[in-house]
Amino acid sequence: MSNTTTRVIVSLVAAPLIVGLTWLGSWWFGAFMLALAILALREYYNLALHADAMPLAAMGYIGTVGIAGSFFLGEWVNPRLQSILFPSVFLLLTLAILIVELMRGKAHPLRNSAITGFGVMYVGTFLASFLGLREMFSGSALSLPVFDGIAASERVAVGDKWGAWLVFATFIGIWTCDSMAFFAGKAFGKHKLFERVSPNKSWEGAIVGFLSSSAAFVALAYYLLPFLPLVHAGIIGALVGIIGPFGDLVESLFKRDAGVKDSSNIIPGHGGVYDRFDAAMFVAPVVYVYVKIFLALG
C-alpha cells in the first residue's frame, strides 16, 4: 500500500472521529484533546532527547493535565476558577521541576528544566486552548451578553452548538489554509518563504492560504456562527492564515535541530500528533483569546 493511500484511509477514519468527539463536547472532547496534548508533548520531549537533553517528561504530563483542567473547569464552573488554577499550576510546576532536577543529578540541568517547563507552556497549553474554545459558551457563560435575545431554556443547546462550530471553523480554516497554500505553491510558487527551515514553502502559497482561510471563516460565520460578526470572522480567518504557518515552521525548525523527519510514526502515513497539529497548536490560543476578549466577554 502506498503512503498516499495510507494517508487517505487514515484521514477518512480520523475526520469523522474528530467531528463526532467535537460535537459531543464535554468530557468526550476534553479527554480527546488531553490525549492529543500528552502524545504531542511526548513527541516534543523525544525531539529534545535527540538534541541531547533529558526533560522531566512525567512532570510535563502532570502539568498538562492541570492546565487542561483549568480551561475545562474555568469555562464550566466559573471563569475566576481558571484565573486561579492556570497560574497556580505553572507556579507549582516550576517549583517542582527545579527541585526534582536538583535532586536527580543529570547533565545539563538548565537545559532539562527549561525544556520541561516550556513544553507544557507550548504544547500542553496551546492544545488545551481548544477546550476553552469548545466550552466557551457553556456552563458559566450562559448569562453573558452574547446570549441576549435567546430564551433561557434554549441557551444550553445553542451555546453547545456554537462551541462545536467554533472548533470546526478553526480546524477548517487551518486545513483550508494549508491545502490551498500547498496547491498554489505547487502551481506557481517561485519565491521561497523560509528556505532555511522549509524549502518547499513559497510566498505565493502563503498568500493564497491566507486569503483562503479568511474567506472560509467568513463563509462559516455567515451560515453557522450567528454570534460572530463578519468583520471579526474575517480578522480571525486572517489570523489563522498568518499564525498557522508559523506553527509548521517552528516544528520544522525543532525537527531539523533534532535531526529527524517526523516527530513519531504513531499516525500511519502522517507521522506524529505533533506533525499533524503543529499549526493548530499556534492557532488555538490566538482564536481563544480573540473570541474571549472581543465577543464572549463583550
d(CA 194, CA 198) in angstroms, rounded, equals: 6
pLDDT score for 231: 92
pLDDT score for 236: 94
Specify which residues 78 forms β-bridges with: none
Sign of torsion over alpha carbons 240, 13, 5, 262: positive
d(CA 125, CA 183) in angstroms, rounded, equals: 31
Walk along the chain (298 residues) and give the pLDDT tens digit of each residue: 566 677 667 777 788 888 899 988 888 999 999 999 999 999 999 999 998 899 999 999 999 999 998 888 777 666 677 778 888 999 999 999 999 999 998 889 999 999 999 999 999 999 999 998 998 888 767 777 778 788 888 888 888 898 899 999 999 999 999 889 888 888 887 778 788 888 888 888 899 999 999 999 999 999 888 888 899 999 999 999 999 999 999 999 999 999 888 888 888 777 889 999 999 999 999 999 999 888 765 4
d(CA 20, CA 42) in angstroms, rounded, equals: 25
Q: Which cell goes with 84?
A: 486561579
d(CA 33, CA 273) in angstroms, rounded, equals: 11
Q: How many CA atoms lie within 13 A of 252 on its CB side?
A: 14
d(CA 23, CA 263) in angstroms, rounded, equals: 28
pLDDT score for 182: 86
pLDDT score for 11: 73
Name the residue with cell 518563504.
Answer: 193
Q: Which cell goes with 248?
A: 509548521
Stated pTM of the model: 0.90
Helix 57-76 to helix 109-119 angle (10° resolution) is 30
- Determine contact, residues 44/122, Cβ cutoff 8 Å: yes
Indicate the burial class of 261 (C-beta count within 10 angstroms; 0-12, 13-18, 19 or more): exposed
Instruction: Count, in order, helices (H) and strands (E) of the chain.
Output: 10, 2
Q: Which cell goes with 166?
A: 467554533
